């Protein structure tokens, strides 16, 4: 059981988060009191960027003591393709599966190393050189290197949907050697580095294996499958029900004790139902709540609004 407290975060205005152990306590209390509402939904399967962490909200389940963190959202991403998914629903999934060259420090706009360890800007103001990690692999076993980074960024441009709007100033991308990537801009862009956490890199082997003449960027495959370098990998997608992720054993960062080994992104279109599940301890987090729900949530034991 491991935790990355800084990792699983949300692009949501308001998130309700159950405090550590509180979900279990609420479940036990309801079972003892016999106050379960008739017809109340149950969790069949059983989770996350700008602010908040999800490590403390995991609940223990299973004979092996694995931790599952369950997140409820009112809608589901229509695609898993990181070159297409650009809404909050899509980013909820993408940020757990994929990574960019840089990342934001939780809750801030401070840029930190991710797949790139160092970066510099030449005197010309348009040439960025990135030194990349040499110890990263994708979920399908493909190694991460500069060519993988180049292909991943070029794919975003070629697909030319949501995230591509962030690459308008990019004139060229070159893999100099295995750990050196050079990105040249058409003109200076102060905001360029800040776009990199939002430009996820996909596995080059998955891209090559699933590309066709009619679909050179393997969009059909990436729409329902995933192969990134992130801490979680796709286990299954039950349409309009839940997306289930499992911790990636080959992840390049060290997990901390208590990290959820499974994350479930539930779809609960009815906020009232989700609130009942939160109060019952059946879910650990929920998003897209309005002011009234936030006030109600603040009155629940062990629940905080962030």
Q: Is the pLDDT of residue 74 over 50?
A: yes
**pLDDT of amino acid 297:** 81
What is the rounded distance in angstroms from the CA atom of residue 230 to the CA atom of residue 292? 35
Output 298 or 226, whichever has higher pLDDT: 226
Q: What residues have CB less than 8 Å from 113, skipping those under 6 apart?
A: 102, 103
* CATH no., domain 2-98+235-305: 3.40.190.10
Of 66-75, 127-136, 145-154, 200-209, which range is least confident?
A: 66-75
* Superfamily of the domain at 102-210: Dipeptide-binding Protein; Domain 1 (3.90.76.10)
Average pLDDT over residues 142-154: 99
What is the rounded distance in angstroms from the CA atom of residue 266 to the CA atom of residue 26? 19
Q: Is the pLDDT of residue 42 over 70?
A: no
- Helix then strand then coil, in percent of the chain rounded to 5, is 25, 25, 45
Q: Is the pLDDT of residue 36 over 60?
A: no
| Mean model confidence pLDDT for the chain | 81
Average pLDDT over residues 135-158: 98
**pLDDT of amino acid 16:** 39
Of 73-77, 122-126, 300-304, which range is least confident?
A: 300-304
Output 253 or 287, whichever has higher pLDDT: 253
- How confident is residue 14, by pLDDT bands cut at 50, 70 and 90? very low
- How confident is residue 28, by pLDDT bands cut at 50, 70 and 90? low
Instruction: Put residue 34 in one of left, alpha, beta given phi > 0 → left and psi -120 to 50 → alpha.
Output: left
What is the rounded distance in angstroms from the CA atom of residue 76 to the CA atom of residue 159? 21
Residue 132 near residue 179 (C-beta atoms within 8 A): yes
Domain ranges of the chain: 2-98+235-305, 102-210
Q: Is the pLDDT of residue 205 over 50?
A: yes
**pLDDT of amino acid 139:** 98
**pLDDT of amino acid 46:** 27
**pLDDT of amino acid 88:** 79
- How confident is residue 236, by pLDDT bands cut at 50, 70 and 90? very high
Query: Residue 159, CB half-sphere, CA atoms under 13 Å: how many?
Result: 29
């Amino acid at each position: 059981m491991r935790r990355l407290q800084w990792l699983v975060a949300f692009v949501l205005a308001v998130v309700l988060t159950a405090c550590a152990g509180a979900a279990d306590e609420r479940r036990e209390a309801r079972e003892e009191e016999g106050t379960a509402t008739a017809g109340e939904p149950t969790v069949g399967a059983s989770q996350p960027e700008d602010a908040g962490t999800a490590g403390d909200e995991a609940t223990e389940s299973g004979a092996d003591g694995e931790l599952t963190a369950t997140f409820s959202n009112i809608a589901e991403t229509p695609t898993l393709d990181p070159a297409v998914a650009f809404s909050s629903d899509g980013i909820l999934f993408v940020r757990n599966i994929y990574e960019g060259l840089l990342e934001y420090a939780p809750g801030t706009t401070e840029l930190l190393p991710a797949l790139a360890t160092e970066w510099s800007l030449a005197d010309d103001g348009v040439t960025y050189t990135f030194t990349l990690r040499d110890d990263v692999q994708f979920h399908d076993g493909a190694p991460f290197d500069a060519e993988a980074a180049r292909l991943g960024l070029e794919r975003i441009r070629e697909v030319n949907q949501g995230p591509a709007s962030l690459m308008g100033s990019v004139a060229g991308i070159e893999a100099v050697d295995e750990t050196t990537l050079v990105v040249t801009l058409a003109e200076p862009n102060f905001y360029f580095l800040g776009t990199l956490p939002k430009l996820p890199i996909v596995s080059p082997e998955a891209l090559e294996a699933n590309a066709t003449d009619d679909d050179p960027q393997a969009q059909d495959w990436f729409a329902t499958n995933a192969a990134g370098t992130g801490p979680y990998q796709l286990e299954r997608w039950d349409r309009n029900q839940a997306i289930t992720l499992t911790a990636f054993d080959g992840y390049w960062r060290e997990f901390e004790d208590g990290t959820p080994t499974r994350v479930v992104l539930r779809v609960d279109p009815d906020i009232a139902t989700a609130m009942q599940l939160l109060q019952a301890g059946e879910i650990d987090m929920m998003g897209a709540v309005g002011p009234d729900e936030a006030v109600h949530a603040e009155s629940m034991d062990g629940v905080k609004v962030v």
